[in-house]
Amino acid sequence: MIIKKAIQDLAILGGRPSFSQPLHVGRPNIGDKERLLQRIGEVLDRRWLTNAGPCVEEFEQRLRQLLGVRHCNAICNATDGLQLAMRAMEMSGEVIVPAFTFIATAHAVQWLGFTPVFCDVAPETHTINPARVEELITSRTTGIIGVHLWGQPCDVKALDVIARRHGLKLLFDAAHAFNCSLEGRMIGNFGDAEVFSFHATKFFNTFEGGALATNSVELARRVQRMRNFGFVGLDQTDALGTNAKMSEASAAMGLTNLESLPDFLAANYRNYEAYRRGLEGISGVQMLQYDTSEKCNYQYIVLEVNESRTLLTRDQLQDILWAENVLARRYFYPGCHRMEPYASTMPNIGSRLSVTERLAQSVLILPTGTAVNTEQIEIICEILRFTISHGGDTVERLHGLRAVAQQASRM
Ligand code: T4K
């Protein structure tokens, strides 16, 4: 372990990086390779590569069992899944979405030609704030998309009441919430439908992929057709469709990774606890705590940095970690409303998104997953502890570095 004894030991100030290889936040979890290759071999032997093949069907059945949901359609990714869901639910006009989420949530709405209306999030959970949702409803609003950010369930009950009261559709972006529960019920069972992401960086992946879960037979049937161009039978379509199917290779990965799900969960939980111990007592750094009485995937290690106490900004801490080869991420900076095509059309809405604005400046995500071990986490926590305990000096040295760099660039 490389111990930082003096400020100049920090890699950003010329010291040796703590890690020789980068530590990523989204290193894929990969199950039994032999079993995966065997399954892919069978796929090749069958010469049935996509379009409702046996792997996809088995995968969907396993998902239904795990989630305790009536219908689950495997899809090529969550972004397409959100679009399919909105189309199948006949949303239009304005759709209320949180501003603090991955840009895909907003883009999915805009891609369909609808208008995403950005809502603020609750400070404790980082999920859409129902009290703010109602203020944004107009005669053009047709739906609400809640995002179970970091795997933490939205305030589903409150959103459900609002949706019913105003005759709106309720969709959940559950990209982060696979294998999570709310009051003992698995995510996948709430709202009109829920969409999971199985992207490579998610704790459970199918390379690229996702699933749309619903308890509505009608909605599931529509989605099933829409993801295959709208086909009913061989030569006819009954509605507009697209291509959002999952391939057999992805489903083979899904089936294999499902077998290792307990291992992935154990690694994430072990890492979560290691971070909790390692970060305890560090001034100005608060780690998001998950509700351990629920099922949770512990997929994201979420820090909120209180700059007035650390004396270092979140961005300075990120730079310091990157120099040590810890590739912490600023999810979801700068907030959807500050990204295009939204920023130029809604330049002033930041004032009604104060929690989003604050979180976008203060949240930092740390590496976890099966590729990260306890010793590495202890080192990461020590870097943070050391840096923050020397906050004032570190800031001064960083300013000094910047001044030298600026001078050099002028010469
Ligand atoms: N809704 C929400 C709330 C979401 O967070 C997402 C996706 C979606 C919807 C849409 O789901 P999909 O349509 O993707 O199914 C990543 C993912 O690409 C994205 O799926 C995810 N959210 C988002 C939170 O994270 P980036 O831009 O951070 O990806 P990237 O390439 O920088 O990778 C992240 C880290 O993982 C890096 O440190 C590199 C590492 N990595 C990445 C890949 C792909 C690996 O080590 N191996 C890999 O194969 O968006």
Task: Kindly report, residue by residue over 364-404, the tens digit of the pLDDT.
Answer: 999 999 999 999 999 999 999 999 999 888 888 888 777 77
Q: Which atom of ligand 1 is nearest to the CA of 82?
A: 9
| pLDDT at residue 100 greater than cutoff 90 | yes
The predicted model gives 31-44 an average pLDDT of 98
Q: How far is the CA of 27 from the centre of ligand 1 (A)?
A: 10
Q: Whose CA is nearest to atom 46 of ligand 1?
A: 27
Q: How far is the C-alpha of 140 from the C-alpha of 143, rounded, in Å?
A: 9
* Run of H or E including 326: strand 326-327
In 6-76, alpha helices (H): 33-46, 54-67
The encoded tokens of residue 256 equal 């294999």
Closest to 101 (Cα-Cα) out of 335, 272, 377: 335
Q: Which atom of ligand 1 is nearest to the CA of 208?
A: 15
Q: What is the pTM of this model?
A: 0.96
Summarize pLDDT for 316-368 with one digit per residue, the tens: 999 999 999 999 999 999 999 999 999 999 888 989 999 999 999 999 999 99
Ligand 1 pocket, CB under 6 A: 24-28, 77-79, 101-102, 104-105, 147, 173, 175-176, 197, 199-201, 210, 327, 331
Q: How far is the C-alpha of 71 from the C-alpha of 63, rounded, in Å?
A: 9
Query: CA 229: distance to chain centroid?
Result: 28
Q: How far is the CA of 255 from the centre of ligand 1 (A)?
A: 21
Q: How far is the C-alpha of 232 from the C-alpha of 79, rounded, in Å?
A: 24
222 phi and psi angles, rounded to 5 deg: -65, -45
Q: How far is the CA of 46 from the centre of ligand 1 (A)?
A: 31
Give whole-number Cα distances, 11 to 17, 313, 319, in Å. 5, 17, 10
- Rg value, the chain, Cα: 23
Provide the pLDDT confidence category of residue 411 given band limits of 50, 70 and 90: low
Answer whether 177's CB lies under 8 Å from 187's CB: yes
pLDDT of residue 1: 63
The predicted model gives 156-167 an average pLDDT of 98
Answer whether 186's CB lies under 8 Å from 295's CB: yes
Spell out the residues 6+ positions from residue 404 whose beta carbon is closer than 8 angstroms to its own. none
Q: How far is the CA of 197 from the centre of ligand 1 (A)?
A: 10
Answer whether 118's CB lies under 8 Å from 256's CB: no
Q: Whose CA is nearest to atom 25 of ligand 1?
A: 201
Query: CA 138: distance to chain centroid?
Result: 29
Q: Where are any strands of DSSP class E within 43-114?
A: 71-75, 94-98
| pLDDT at residue 2 greater than cutoff 90 | no
Q: Which atom of ligand 1 is nearest to the CA of 197?
A: 15
The encoded tokens of residue 232 equal 């009913």
Spell out the residues 6+ positions from residue 219 whose beta carbon is closer than 8 angstroms to its own. 71, 85, 88, 89, 192, 193
Burial class (CB in 10 A: 0-12, 13-18, 19+), 20: exposed
Q: How far is the CA of 79 from the centre of ligand 1 (A)?
A: 12
Summarize pLDDT for 175-188 with one digit per residue, the tens: 999 999 999 999 99
pLDDT of residue 3: 76
Q: How far is the CA of 400 from the centre of ligand 1 (A)?
A: 35
Pocket test for ligand 1, best of 21, 199, 246 (most atoms within 8 A of CB): 199
Give whole-number Cα distances, 225 to 55, 79, 127, 139, 228, in Å. 18, 17, 31, 30, 5
Burial class (CB in 10 A: 0-12, 13-18, 19+), 274: buried
Query: Between these two residues, 26 and 303, which has the higher pLDDT value?
Result: 303
Answer whether 327's CB lies under 8 Å from 215's CB: no
* Count of Cβ atoms closer than 10 Å to residue 390 Cβ: 18
Sign of CA dihedral 12, 18, 19, 20: positive
Pocket test for ligand 1, best of 25, 100, 102, 299 (most atoms within 8 A of CB): 102
